[in-house]
Amino acid sequence: MTESVFVVAVDGPAGSGKSSVSRLAARRLGYGYLDTGAAYRALAWHVLEHEGDTSDSTGVLDFVGDFDYAISLDPDDYWVRVGGTDVTDAIREPRVSEAVSGVARIAPIRESVNALFRALVAESDRPGIVVEGRDITTVVFPQAPVRILLTASPDVRAERRSAELAAQDPSSVADALSRRDASDSTVVDFLTPAPGVTLVDSTDLDLDQTVQAVLDVIGEVQASGASGASGTSATERTGHGR
């Protein structure tokens, strides 16, 4: 991790609000925003577009060579591209959401994209970057000054994801979320904060309150002058008023 960029690492399960909260927090701070999950989604989209099978680990690796990926770190001008194609919206399609776990659990791919994430942060001209996704606090940036696990109860996460995907049946969304959790949990523990990681439980918080809770954690670390992960136990933030 470069010393000149202040990294805020945000972990959490699907539907916890990682993307919305991280992007808004970055905007408030004047930081960059890196959605790491977009890389896996973009690769899944790339494989599907070429009629590949994302459940075939060996087959997926064959598509990595010509995977030309780019992402914006500007929270006010967010885009994702594969080659010359803007896939910002396409990677959120249900077919991609269903396929992304098959890509994300392939160890060589995770190692490759993790190196990409670190390079994007190191090359950024922003004073700080909020990096969100799975295993960001433990694998990608384990020494980040701020490490947060953002979570919520399964029912609330399913409700929020259903609201985002209004065209889909709520029960189908809940089932898909459960399958995604089960699949991803075989690769990384995204429900239990590692030592030194602050748990922010947004079950009873609305979006603004959750953003403020994250900003409070960042502010406390900056006020203390901390430059790396500290402490040996997780702390917890919860709230009410949702």
Residue 166 lies in a domain: yes
Residue 242 lies in a domain: no
**pLDDT at site 4:** 82
Query: What is the token pair recorded at 51?
Result: 């009629």
In sequence order, the β-bridge partners of residue 198 are: 148, 235
Residue 226 lies in a domain: yes
- 82 versus 16: which is more confidently predicted? 82
- Lowest-pLDDT range, 1-15, 29-43, 144-158, 171-185? 171-185
Specify the number of domains making up the chain. 1
Residue 232 has pLDDT above 50, yes or no: no
Mean pLDDT score, 183-193? 60
Please state, in angstroms and rounded to a whole number, the distance separating the CA atoms of residues 106 and 27: 32
Residue 230 has pLDDT above 60, yes or no: no
Residue 171 has pLDDT above 60, yes or no: yes
Tens of pLDDT along 34-54? 999 999 999 999 999 999 999
* H helical segments located in 94-242: 94-104, 107-122, 154-164, 170-184, 207-224
**pLDDT at site 176:** 66
Please state the residue numbers annotated as binding site. Answer: 12-20
**Residues 6 or more apart in contact with residue 165 via CB below 8 angstroms:** 94, 173
Question: How far lies 223's CA from each of 18, 78, 144, in Å?
Answer: 24, 30, 15
Strand order in the sheet with 85-86: 69-71, 80-82, 85-86
Residue 202 lies in a domain: yes
Residues 52/59, Cβ–Cβ less than 8 Å: yes
Report the chain's mean pLDDT, rounded to a whole number. 85
pTM for the structure as a whole: 0.83
Please state the residue numbers annotated as binding site for ATP. Answer: 12-20
* pLDDT band at residue 240 under the 50/70/90 scheme: very low
Tens of pLDDT along 53-110? 999 999 999 999 889 999 999 999 999 999 999 999 999 998 998 899 899 989 999 9
Residue 24 lies in a domain: yes
Please state, in angstroms and rounded to a whole number, the distance separating the CA atoms of residues 173 and 14: 11
| Torsion angle (degrees, nearest 10) of CA 118, 123, 124, 129 | 20
Q: Which phi and psi (to 5°) does residue 51 adopt?
A: 60, 35
Residue 30 lies in a domain: yes
Residues 218/182, Cβ–Cβ less than 8 Å: no
Residue 90 lies in a domain: yes
Residue 1 lies in a domain: no
CATH number at residue 155: 3.40.50.300
User: Residue 82: which of 38, 114, 130 has the closest Cα?
Assistant: 38
**pLDDT at site 153:** 86
**pLDDT at site 139:** 93
Domain interval for residue 39: 6-237
